[in-house]
Amino acid sequence: MLLQVIVVAVVVVLTVLVSVASRRRGSDAVPTPSGFTVPARVARPDFDHPDRPWLVVVFTSDTCDGCAGVVERALPLSSDEVAVCAVSVQEQPESHTRYRIDGVPTTIIADTEGTVVGSFLGPVQTIELWDAVAAARET
């Protein structure tokens, strides 16, 4: 009888130790990706003014509450150096599919070669967007 109690106690202690060790190991796990993607490159001829050195594209949806605000904040960046485009999924679904845009608003900043040098997923504040474009232009 005493031997059975000791065996049960050892099994319980081992179970608790394994449980604690697995919880600690799980806390160091890599964060789960959001699943939303941002293209690494875009074809400049797919967008207005491909001859301008910089491109800001806001991928949007007509059903997105925050998208209009992002477009509104991006439009003043338009100049001889920066092309700004809003691409609605309802009007240009092929662009969203081609660039695997699965969340809106998605804002990208691309150079003359189409390499995406900056991006934002979700709403972006004016200062963040303008700073990102200024930083890209300085490189």
Task: Tell me 133's DSSP state.
Answer: H
Burial 25-57 (b: 16+ CB within 10 A, else e): eeeeeeeeeeeeebbeebebebbeeeebebbbb
Q: Is 89 helix (H, G, I), strand (E, B) or coil?
A: coil
Q: Could you tell me the fold of the domain covering 44-138?
A: Glutaredoxin (3.40.30)
Question: How far is the C-alpha of 57 from the C-alpha of 55, rounded, in Å?
Answer: 6
pLDDT digits (tens, 9 = 90+) for 35-66: 788 999 999 999 999 999 999 999 999 999 99
Q: What is the pTM of this model?
A: 0.76
